Amino acid sequence: MPSIDMPLEKLREYQPPLYREPDFEEFWRTTMAEAAKQPLNAELIPYDLPARGLQCYAVRFDGYQGGRIAGWYLRPDASGKFPGVCSYHGYSGRAVRPLDLVGLASQGICVLSMDCRGQNGQSQNAAVYPEGYAIGWMTQGIRDPKRYYYRYVYADAVRALELLARRDEVDDKRLAITGVSQGGGITLAVAALSERPILALPDIPFLCDFRRGVSIAPAGPYPEIPVFIKSFPDQYEQTFRTLSYCDALNLAPWIKCRTVISNCLWDDICPPSTIFGVYNHLTCEKQIEIYPFHKHEVPYEHNELKFRVMIETLTGSAPSPRARA
């Protein structure tokens, strides 16, 4: 079994220790309480998409502690209560756009996608970082856990799921969350920080096991962290202290919903060991799908598997099996 990382048998055993700060639980309890108390001030703006049987909207809501968060929302053009899916995107990308949400929405599912603040979409990043950081988002606010970029993003993402759950046409007992890479890491965080989802589908997740990711990943966002530390060597300890609050490794034991993860053994952006490190700390119903020759990508076969799991879990009916081409 090829890999740029450990042999597969070692990956299956890899379970690095948690490295939570003493106030880890209080940090997130306080953050989530503040996020829940803050009004969403949601706005749904009709968008003309000629998709039969569906309604489409551009979404805006207040981000955690400021700014407006953008996204898209598709729902069946019918009355009743429908299951919902919230989708999060990859690093430096933007929310999944309407045409790419049609497939799920056409199955009788309400689908909402979210732009991460300040990235390549339309969400505003209202946080101010008076001191320097490496190019990108990984080290914005890294000197203080309460100012760290991903604290805001995780809170925004929980608020997006809350917006979906509160819609009149949505059955808040049938909610799933999903995303690829950064979106996969956010999916894991939301699964840990919210009791709403019954299913989490993180693909090749980023934001996992930061200490190992920074040590071995030659490409992608993890190298932004050593770039910062090279400029500020005195910030080494504080950098990893801040990262510890947003590491999916430390959040993993809080995940209670069914979780299905994809992991590609030639992935040099999100190395497979970082994902196994998180997976091996999950105590929920869980499943990991391994793709030995894929890099940082989601194979068609896994997308089909996710679709089947989602339909079965959220609607109670599995699509008929098809012969593989």
Residue 240, in any domain of the structure: yes
pLDDT in tens, 134-149: 999 999 999 999 999 9
| 160: nearest Cα among 250, 38, 69 | 69
Q: How confident is the model at residue 321, as a pLDDT?
A: 47
DSSP state of 164: H
123 an active-site residue?
no
Residue 320, in any domain of the structure: no
Quote the tokens at residue 133: 């950081």
Which is it for strands 82-88 and 54-62: parallel, antiparallel or unpaired?
A: unpaired
Active-site position among 89, 281, 294, 296:
296
Residue 112, strand partner residues: 73, 86
Residue 266, in any domain of the structure: yes
Count up the domains in the chain and report the number: 1
Residue 323, in any domain of the structure: no
Active-site position among 5, 115, 156, 267:
267
Give yes or no for a contact between 51 and 107, defined as CB atoms under 8 angstroms apart: no
Task: Give the pLDDT band of residue 126 (cuts 50, 70, 90).
Answer: confident
pLDDT in tens, 224-233: 999 999 999 9
Q: In this structure, what CATH number is given to the domain that contains residue 112?
A: 3.40.50.1820
User: Is residue 1 predicted with pLDDT exceeding 60?
Assistant: no
Residue 325, in any domain of the structure: no
pLDDT in tens, 280-315: 999 999 999 999 999 999 999 999 999 999 999 999
Domain of 147? Answer: 8-314
Residue 114, in any domain of the structure: yes
Residue 127, in any domain of the structure: yes
Residue 322, in any domain of the structure: no
**What is the Rg, in whole angstroms, of the alpha carbon atoms belonging to the chain?**
19
Task: Give the pLDDT band of residue 317 (cuts 50, 70, 90).
Answer: low
181 an active-site residue?
yes
Quote the tokens at residue 12: 């299956």
Active-site position among 181, 244, 262, 273:
181
296 an active-site residue?
yes
What lies within 8 Å, CB to CB, of 22 at 6+ separation is none
User: Is residue 96 predicted with pLDDT exceeding 90?
Assistant: yes
Report CA 159 to chain centroid distance, whole Å: 13
pLDDT in tens, 67-87: 999 999 999 999 999 999 999
